[in-house]
Structure 1
Amino acid sequence: MIAVSLLGLAGAALAQDIPANMPKRKPGLWEMQTSGMGGQSQTTKFCLDADTDTAMYKMGTHMSGQMCSKFKIDVQGSNKVVTDAVCKINTPNGGVDMTSHSETTYQGDTSYATQGHITYNPAIMGHADMAITSTGRWVGQCAAGQKPGDMIMPNGQTMNIKDMQGH
């Protein structure tokens, strides 16, 4: 469920060409904590370099281009990104209209915090709306054996974003 919501937030943010003044993240190992429904928190780690950051944006652009009818990304000042989107997601029970709004504030290139709100029509699993919070922070160099694009999911599984795109 959180993955669907994050896809909405990330997809909305990445559905268009990224503005040239989009804040950049420092290369290395990042840890992202996300919480939403019921206060559940999930931690994902990923190894990032400039090419991987671009690859993640391209993947989001491709996915949201298929799902979203409306999106807007606005970089405000040097450290704030506001996104709004209207998307249609397919679920086992049929199509669901999803509207999202998020605001991400960057602290330099080593951390960021996102506050978001998503509404679903019809409700998904009894939830018509959800608040999402996400924080990301640079924790150091990528671990030995990690390559850019490696993501360690909350369940411990590792996958590579670039491999998913066929790069």
Structure 2
Amino acid sequence: MSSRCRWLLAVSLLGLAGTALAQDIPANMPKRKPGLWEMQTSGMGGQPQTTKICLDADTDTAMYKMGTHMSGQMCSTFKIDVQGNKVLTDAVCKINAPSGTVNMSSHSETTYQGDTAYSTQGNIKYDPAVMGHSEMAMTSSGHWVGQCAAGQKPGDMLMPNGQTFNIKDMPGH
């Protein structure tokens, strides 16, 4: 996947997930089980991308705070509606792309299967189009794998390219 496609995928994921993090964690938000999670994301007709992350309650909170910081700077509108095991999100954001400012609107629905799995279906619209895409369907799913591996600490994320970093070390945390 080219770096331009990775950029578009990252912006799209922000549309699906980051905007859902743009406010305090709703009290009735489903919780994820601590341990090692594997997450797959696909869109743009490319191969699914798989990441793994070691989570605990503090790491989930840190991810929400990071999303709050990023979304608060870019999104003028966001709405989170938790309905039992479903989380519906809608957002309108302005993103600084390599080609200039892009208006992005997104809608996603995440369904949790207890505290060990979730799946997200989303649609993102871009104006103007980004790399020829004015609309994109995205999917994301995650499931609990087990305990974090020996030597892993909460926040350690293994990217599809094999690179590992800790999300708590990222700016905005």
Q: TM-score, normalised by structure 2?
A: 0.93
* Distance in 2 (alpha carbons) for counterparts of 1:49 and 1:17: 18
Q: Is the 8 A contact 2:66 2:172 kept in 1?
A: no
| Partner SS, residue 119 of structure 2 | strand
Describe the SS at the equivalent of 2:17: helix
> Is it true that 1:82 corresponds to 2:88 in the alignment?
yes
AA aligned to 2:144 is: W
Match of 2:66 among 59, 64, 68: 59
Is 1:14 the equivalent of 2:14? no
CA apart distance, 1:12: 1.0
For structure 2, the 5+ residue unaligned runs are: 1-7
Shift of 1:18: 1.4
Partner of 1:154: 160
**Aligned with 2:110: secondary structure?**
strand
- In the alignment, the residues of structure 1 paired with residue 81 and residue 118 of structure 2 have an alpha-carbon distance, to the nearest angstrom, of 16
Match of 1:42 among 42, 45, 49: 49
Does 1:101 pair with 2:101? no
Aligned residue among 141, 144, 147 for 1:138:
144
Question: Alpha-carbon deviations, 1:124-165, whole Å to 9, x = none?
Answer: 000000000001000000001100000001111111111114
Q: For residues 146 and 166 of structure 1, what CA distance do their matches in structure 2 show?
A: 22
Paired residue for 1:119?
Answer: 125
Q: Structure 1 residue 7: deviation in Å? A: 1.4
Q: Deviation string for 1:11-37 (max 9, x for gaps)?
A: 210111111010000000000000000
Amino acid at match of 1:22: M
CA contact (8 A) 2:69 2:172 kept: no
Give the drift of 1:166. 7.4
* CA shift for structure 1 position 39: 3.6
Identify the residue that residue 24 of structure 1 maps to in structure 2. 31
| Residues 41-84 of structure 1, C-alpha deviations (whole Å, 9 max, x = no match) | 1000000000000000000000000000000000002x100000
1:112: how far off?
Answer: 0.2
Q: Say how many residue pairs are matched.
A: 166
Residue of structure 1 equivalent to 2:135? 129
> Are 2:59 and 2:168, in contact at CA under 8 Å, matched by a contact in 1?
yes
Which contiguous aligned blocks of 4+ residues in structure 1 show a shift greater than 2 angstroms? none
The RMSD of aligned alpha carbons is 1.1
> How far off is 1:40 after superposition?
2.4
Question: 2:135 is aligned with what amino acid?
Answer: D
